[in-house]
Amino acid sequence: MEINPVKGTHDIFDKEAHSYRKIEMICRYVADLYNYQEIRTPVMEHTNLFIRSVGESSDIVSKEMYTFEDKAGRSITLRPEFTAGIMRSIVSNKLYANADLPLKLFYLGPCFRYERPQAGRYRQFNQFGIEAIGEPSYQLDAEAIAVGHRILISLGIPKIKVVVNSLGDEESRARYREALKAYFKDHIENMCSDCKRRYEVNPLRILDCKVPEDIEIVKGAPKLHDFLSPESKIYLDSVIAALDEIGIEAEIDDNLVRGLDYYTGVVFEYHVVEDGEIKDVGALGGGGHYGKLLKEVGGPDLEGIGMALGIERLALIDQVVNKNDVLNGPDFYLIGMSDEIIEKNFSLADIIRSEGMSVDCAYHVKSLKSVFKVAERKRAKFAIIVGEDEIEKRQIKVKNLQTQEQTDVKLDDMALVLRSMLNEYMEAFYASQVEMK
């Protein structure tokens, strides 16, 4: 009997795996540009951590967590997001103690949410994210937004919409909550059961409701912006102005409250602008400022800001934007014309690899025609052919699989010549990519 993958999970291979690898490389590279240091935390945490941080009123905690009892009866949860675990780790390891604040961390890895699967929404998915803790500044908020934006731009996504809002300080939020309660009082009877629960626990969450009839009611609700203190408004304006200075246009979205309870102050999301084959797959990422989260999980009273991108969603768009990407094959495919030569090719391949160029090999003798087909399917840039004739002349034949051009290369000059052929190939490739865009 065939065993299917678990609903909401997917296997990543071939071109998609190439996308993931490229996206992850870009994320790491951009994290380095801003000096965020890598942190890796466990996939499993105590359930209580998420209840205390992400919050009981959130959909994530109330409906979507993969929670189980381990053999000793502890309640364990597979992380639905990273931020809570990062805060726990900062406290467990006292990472704030001898650090020059802000502490700047980045992470990459799988998360789990029991959601209804659809395009760009999975039950196991991957996030890249950053957190900056201590020394709050409007610039750090703007920087967090800029990190995600730079990654999206580096992927070649043509148009990105950045939306921002402010949840204000404790006092403004409390006043807003009261205003929402007063407004929804007359409607709540006719709203969904989730909204009824949200009304009791945290009326702000009602604004996230996706039920069409409820969305209509939400439209008439008081606006958060009208309850913000002057300081919160100035702070949000400073973040928008800082972004503007570096060429990022951020738009205020009054309804943006984000689905996690730990946010205070500035929140934001990135969306792709639909264009031809590029389709909206939900927020590409999001984040915000959190004032009390570290303290909530037992640490010092330090504020933080962070953001996370969904790798699956970026990969979906990458598959459209960069569909002509052919970088995921070996540089060379090494072909031997006899068993004896194939035996010797083992060390020849090793020499080329030691020079930092990638090689895959034909391990058995086959007809030239079929072996060239294999080289093309493997997306090799060049084929190297070694026959009796070549051995005698101490040379190899190198065929550019794009142009079909063949060159004899002396074994003594092999490393240098192969390197320059490869450089030329890549220059031509990048030039053709630029022309295509």
Query: Which residues are at the interface with ligand HAM (CB under 6 A)?
Result: 81-83, 113, 115, 120-122, 125, 127, 129, 131, 260, 283-288, 306-308, 310, 312-313
Q: C-beta of 343: minimal distance to ligand HAM in Å?
A: 48
Strand order, beta sheet including 44-46: 44-46, 75-78, 66-69
Judged by CB, which is closer to ligand HAM: 265, or 336?
A: 265
Q: C-beta of 214: minimal distance to ligand HAM in Å?
A: 20
Question: Which helix (H) or strand (E) is 128 found in, with range?
Answer: strand 124-133
Q: What does DSSP say about strands 160-166 and 250-252: parallel, antiparallel, or unpaired?
A: parallel
Identity (one letter) of the amino acid at 293? L
DSSP string, 240-279: HHHHHHTT--EEE-TT---S-TT--SEEEEEEEPPBTTB-
Q: Backbone phi, then psi, for 391, in 5-degree steps?
A: -60, -45
- Please list the residues that pair with 135 across neighbouring strands: none
Q: C-beta of 305: minimal distance to ligand HAM in Å?
A: 7
Judged by CB, which is closer to ligand HAM: 116, or 369?
A: 116
Per-residue b or e along 256-282, where b marks 16 or more CB atoms closer than 10 Å to that residue's CB: bbbbbbbbbbbbbbbbbeeeeebeebe
Judged by CB, which is closer to ligand HAM: 149, or 381?
A: 149
Q: C-beta of 286: minimal distance to ligand HAM in Å?
A: 4
Q: C-beta of 109: minimal distance to ligand HAM in Å?
A: 12
Counts for the chain of helices (H) and strands (E), in that order:
15, 16
CA dihedral 94, 100, 104, 107 (to 10 degrees): -40
Q: C-beta of 52: minimal distance to ligand HAM in Å?
A: 15
CB neighbours of residue 285 within 10 Å: 24
Judged by CB, which is closer to ligand HAM: 15, or 121?
A: 121
Judged by CB, which is closer to ligand HAM: 222, or 282?
A: 282
Q: C-beta of 328: minimal distance to ligand HAM in Å?
A: 23
Judged by CB, which is closer to ligand HAM: 224, or 307?
A: 307
Strand order, beta sheet including 266-272: 37-38, 103-112, 124-133, 304-310, 285-290, 266-272, 160-166, 250-252
Judged by CB, which is closer to ligand HAM: 50, or 184?
A: 50
Judged by CB, which is closer to ligand HAM: 85, or 329?
A: 85
Q: C-beta of 180: minimal distance to ligand HAM in Å?
A: 21
